[in-house]
Amino acid sequence: MNATIIEFPPTVTIPPHLVGEVQSKLAYVDERIAAAHIGAAGDNIIIELKEPLSTAEQATIEEKVQRVVVSMAQGAIRPKVQVLEDYLDRRVPFNGDPMPELARRGEISQEAQGIYVLGPLLTRLVDWFEQRFLDLAASFSAQPYRFPTLIPARYLEKVGYFRAFPHSLSFATHLREDLDHIDSFAEGAACDQHGNLNAPFERFAPIQTLLSPAVCYHLYFTLADQTLPPQGVTATAVGNCFRYESLNLSSLERLWNFTMREVIFVGSKEFVLENREIARQRMQRVFEEIGFAYRVESANDPFFIGEFRKQAAFQSAFQLKYEIRARLPFKDSTLAVGSYNYHQDFFGRHLSIHLPDGSPAHTGCVAFGLERIVFAFLAQFGFDLAQWPRSMQEILQ
Ligand code: 5GP
Ligand code: ZN
């Protein structure tokens, strides 16, 4: 039978804490999936297809979905969520979705899925938050850096990124240095109705470079094969980050191309953990001043299916990641607008970054998603400036 909706129970019930995580991975199962939904009880999966498929084709998709479910959910133990700050209940003046109003004002212009131009209001808000993050960086005397948007494939290979996050990679290439290829491309290059470029693959050079998925990696590679000064290294940088999120790309909440500001600590374990904690406390004051509704809780990275269970459990067990989750009143949910991360001596070991005593350096970073924090701010405070925190009202003057 040809159908566009298939519905079936998962082989193993998906525990509530994994429903969102598994659902987001279903976008990568098959190109013919238009939408995927898992019932809140974790015992029902609904797959919407882009086109009607035969029973056999449906069975293939179901089998792949079950593989994801089993790999991520079988035997999964619910990690104990540790809450470090809870201000989710702060009263905020707005509860609408900012996107329609942003569109009406011409503040967002979508170039493609997950790629947006931001207008003057959003840009000024980004600058306001950036200044708070720069103040935080200055309070640690962090040294400023500028990192490239591209990153060599061999860098990401070296730190296991391909294994952990293959689904979200974005590749960069160029035409091969060959006059015939370049001439043919220049003459015939055109996009079809889907926006696909018609150039054949063999015109492009082998992939050696990707669009960078994170900011702090660049610093760790800069420090590779070095011995750190006794006081460690504290740095800050802002950069474009790329994570391909397939069907999950939506509004400013989830972008393919977003901007991250990081404050990065490299040194002994105590140095990194102490500074991560001090940074959290300093940001707590900033958020209090504006009356931001959020909470800080332990979290894990969105590892891909095969790596998910092991790596997520590891992160939880060692309290490696805390997220700042801002309230989105209009959908009664939260959004990660930043994170406090500790990588232990992972980068120190893999890249030979040493402490003066010869042992591998520890690293950590505090990262803020600029588009997300501004989106969450508008979701809580709306567009009436009189309702905004006083210190922010002047940004439009
Ligand atoms: P992390 O390294 O913790 O995954 O990301 C750091 C921060 O970057 C997140 O807390 C979030 O604010 C931002 N971020 C991560 N992924 C996305 C995304 O897909 N879209 C947007 N807009 N921001 C993101
Ligand atoms: Zn980082």
The bound ligand whose nearest atom lies closest to the alpha carbon of 118 is 1
What distance in angstroms lies between residue 276's CA and the mean position of ligand 2's atoms? 12
Residue 1: the pLDDT is 59
**CB of 260 closer than 6 angstroms to any ligand 1 atom:** yes
Contacts for 228 with CB less than 8 Å, ≥ 6 apart: 266, 267, 353, 354, 355, 356, 361
Atom 19 in ligand 1: which residue has the minimum CA distance? 254
Residue 237 φ then ψ, to 5°:
-160, 155
CA neighbor of 199 nearest in space, from 211, 209, 184, 210: 184
Interval 86-102 mean pLDDT: 98
Q: What is the pLDDT of residue 306?
A: 86
**What pLDDT shows up at residue 222?**
98
For the Cβ of 381 lying below 6 angstroms from any atom of ligand 1, the answer is no
Neighbours of ion ligand 2 (CB under 5 A): 216, 262, 365, 367
> How many angstroms does the Cα of residue 367 sit away from the middle of ligand 2?
6
> Band of the pLDDT at 204, cuts 50, 70, 90?
very high
Strands (DSSP E) contained in the chain are 3-8, 33-38, 45-53, 83-86, 108-112, 115-118, 143-144, 150-152, 171-172, 209-211, 226-227, 233-242, 257-267, 294-298, 321-328, 333-342, 353-354, 362-369
The answer to whether the beta carbons of residues 117 and 108 sit under 8 Å apart is yes
Is 252's pLDDT higher than 70?
A: yes
Domains of the chain: 4-73 (3.30.70.100), 83-166+213-396 (3.30.930.10), 174-203 (no CATH)
Mean pLDDT for 170-188 is 96
Tell me: pLDDT of 213 over 90.
yes
Averaged pLDDT for residues 349-373: 98
- Sign of the alpha-carbon dihedral angle for 133, 139, 142, 146: positive
Residue 36 has pLDDT above 80, yes or no: yes
Could you say which DSSP state residue 172 is in?
E
CA angle (121, 337, 293) in 5-degree steps: 85
pLDDT above 90: percentage of residues in the chain? 92
> Which protein residue's CA is at the shortest distance from atom 24 of ligand 1?
369
pLDDT of residue 376: 98
| Model pLDDT for residues 120-147, shown as the tens digit of each residue | 999 999 999 999 999 999 999 999 999 9
pLDDT value of residue 250: 84
In percent, the amount of the chain with pLDDT more than 70 equals 99
Instruction: Give me ligand 1 centre to Cα 244, in Å.
Output: 12
Global pTM reads 0.95
CB of 338 sitting under 6 A from ligand 1: yes
Q: pLDDT tier at 224 (50, 70, 90 boundaries)? A: very high
CA distance 132 to 9: 47
- pLDDT over threshold 80, residue 168: yes
Nearest ligand, measured from the Cα of 217: 2
Contact 323, 338 (CB under 8 A): yes
Q: Beta strand pairing status for 45-53 and 83-86?
A: unpaired
pLDDT tens digit sequence for 298-335: 999 989 998 888 899 889 888 999 999 999 999 999 99
Average predicted confidence (pLDDT) for the chain = 95
Task: Please name which of 210, 262, 213 lies closest in space to residue 241, comparing C-alpha atoms.
Answer: 213
